[in-house]
Structure 1
């Protein structure tokens, strides 16, 4: 059964498509959607269709920041029922924790992890699709929406220290600078926002504990069977932890709030092992990294958990039948000859070239 997401994830899609001179009806039809399917924000649509729509719209309009255009006008209310709770959380920290707990109610493809140091906080974010597909636009949309959420709770003048993207820098940064107003980092090892640790503890003057309890009770009544599988949750945790060098079974289990043996039982029930799941995520991420010219092979090896480059090369050879350098060269050469912005990589899957 395909994963579903609220149609609200495509809020303002029609307006943005029109502004860029796109044939919205044709693009919607290509991914199995239509205007009526977007009219009700609570309508459930396939995640895969929404992700593909954003990528194809960006390509058709020649705008590598199409997803961010949708994020620019996002409001707290666009998150749906969970906004009733977030607006009454005492601090941004509490709001982010609530988002993680109830993410299955608005978009369970988004994985969020807080990494705290003495003074700074990294809010790591990843959009994880099944089956894997290019999701640059979805990641930019998610980061933009996260920024808008933080600003809604901390005040419009709030600015983070920096915003990070794992993809290559676009040629035009006007929208990024206008929306974020801070340092921008592309070809970064993660997608997300870096801000002051004190920002997470700023008191929300509009928080109402009574309203928060009522909202939480209401959200709990909606949970039902919508929660994603533990296999998918473990996969998302690996996406976040692997570039940090922390994607061990112990760390993944801790992130999911369970014992290692419990996680192992869930994986066994899904007829897989932690090693197989880790290897699957590595295969997904290595293609993304190789497509980004800003990543040298040594850095890619390190982000995939290989401290010795030779070990990374041997693993890649075993998975794709060639060295990572040869894969990168072959993919670029094939795409240049085709004169296209997408092409089939050496593993016969289709990948989008960086803008």
Structure 2
């Protein structure tokens, strides 16, 4: 579906890119030009830019600088004020949980390509983040930046000394974890089943002493009056939900519809209006995640199959071969550099 290639995000997602790039010996102008961007495009935080360009910029910058923590360093440079007007609304939410719900509500003002799922498990809360992209290239830098920015939000509302219980990444560990340890200060888990944080449930609901209901109301009124360009479509919402819930085994049409606050018939009708069916969206996201897991993680094929909703490896292999005209083992052997866009799923 070509509509995904046109996904745009606000230039604010690349806040402080120039400074970080220069510090690592890169020419920001040259790097931007490689992905079809210009400094002028980044000058206005509200300027819409192609998401794929932003995604590729971080991956290419990490590779050419030799810095595997480029995304994390970009997150370290961020300020809550970089979020624009919504930063005032976040600051005055009564708790972190409410702040994250606010981010989901106004995602179109932040990063339309980021999915987030919050789940309480006993005394802890899992916050899963996923970059929604059909690009066959990597998403490690964008994912790392997203998890790092999540830390920024927690610390801005709780304490600069706050630490999560653990941080998880689906990608392998870097050779140097100094930046990870400095930023997160907690146990790090790589080759995990998800990207995100594990924190105490009590922290999620701890009252924000600086919250001011009047200021929150003022900020919300201001945001609601802003132009609605870039606002999410039902197709984007469904894709985001499938990205987050498929690895958890919860990507049925009933669960997706419930999570979006509509009944199944309404969801299917809205997808029909967009020219797609739920099964088509599910299959496309499964293809995108399959390529990501196989070419960018060391997960076993059995583990990949399970994350994509297959109870046995043979069924997964048959499905994969029918989509890509090659086995998952062959795709992994070729590597991403030899997995061209022409190998898109059928």
TM-score of the superposition, structure 2-length normalised?
A: 0.94
2:62 is aligned with 1:68: no
Partner of 2:250: 246
- Offset, 1:131: 5.4
Partner of 1:22: 26
Q: Are the structure 2 counterparts of residues 308 and 205 from structure 1 closer, same or farther at C-alpha, using a change threshold of 3 Å? A: same
For these two proteins, the number of residue pairs brought into alignment is 340
Partner of 2:265: 261
User: Following superposition of structure 1 onto structure 2, how do residues 302-313 of structure 1 map, counting pairs within 5 Å?
Assistant: 302-313=306-317
Farther-moved stretch of structure 1 (122-131 vs 136-145): 122-131
Farther-moved stretch of structure 1 (35-44 vs 10-19): 35-44
Write the deviation string for residues 188-247 of structure 1: whole angstroms up to 9, x where unpaired: 111111111111111111100111111111112225343111001100100000110101
Partner of 2:144: 140
Partner of 1:50: 54
Q: Are the structure 2 counterparts of residues 5 and 326 from structure 1 closer, same or farther at C-alpha, using a change threshold of 3 Å? A: closer
- Offset, 1:122: 0.6
Partner of 1:286: 290
Separation in 2 of the partners of 1:324 and 1:43? 39
User: Following superposition of structure 1 onto structure 2, how do residues 1-355 of structure 1 map, counting pairs within 5 Å?
Assistant: 2-129=6-133, 133-222=137-226, 224-329=228-333, 331-332=334-335, 343-345=337-339, 348=342
- Offset, 1:347: 6.7
Farther-moved stretch of structure 1 (238-247 vs 226-235): 226-235
Q: How large is the Cα RMSD of the aligned pairs?
A: 1.7
Separation in 2 of the partners of 1:215 and 1:52? 33
Separation in 2 of the partners of 1:97 and 1:249? 22
Write the deviation string for residues 110-137 of structure 1: whole angstroms up to 9, x where unpaired: 1111011111111111121355643221
Secondary structure at 2:198's aligned position in 1?
strand
Separation in 1 of the partners of 2:137 and 2:193? 19
Separation in 1 of the partners of 2:10 and 2:262? 28
Write the deviation string for residues 163-203 of structure 1: whole angstroms up to 9, x where unpaired: 11111211111101100001111111111111111111111
Alignment check: 8 A CA contact 1:67 1:141 kept: yes
Separation in 1 of the partners of 2:228 and 2:46? 16
- Offset, 1:44: 2.6
Q: Are the structure 2 counterparts of residues 292 and 4 from structure 1 closer, same or farther at C-alpha, using a change threshold of 3 Å? A: closer
Separation in 1 of the partners of 2:161 and 2:313? 44
Where in structure 2 are there 5+ consecutive unaligned residues?
none
Separation in 2 of the partners of 1:19 and 1:225? 34
Separation in 2 of the partners of 1:345 and 1:323? 12
Alignment check: 8 A CA contact 1:91 1:204 kept: yes
Separation in 2 of the partners of 1:293 and 1:128? 17
- Offset, 1:348: 4.0
TM-score of the superposition, structure 1-length normalised?
A: 0.91
Secondary structure at 1:305's aligned position in 2?
coil
Write the deviation string for residues 257-300 of structure 1: whole angstroms up to 9, x where unpaired: 21111110111112211111111011101111112453011111
Alignment check: 8 A CA contact 2:92 2:211 kept: yes
Q: Are the structure 2 counterparts of residues 292 and 240 from structure 1 closer, same or farther at C-alpha, using a change threshold of 3 Å? A: same
Secondary structure at 2:61's aligned position in 1?
helix
Where in structure 1 are there 5+ consecutive unaligned residues?
333-341, 351-355
Secondary structure at 1:111's aligned position in 2?
strand
Secondary structure at 1:188's aligned position in 2?
coil
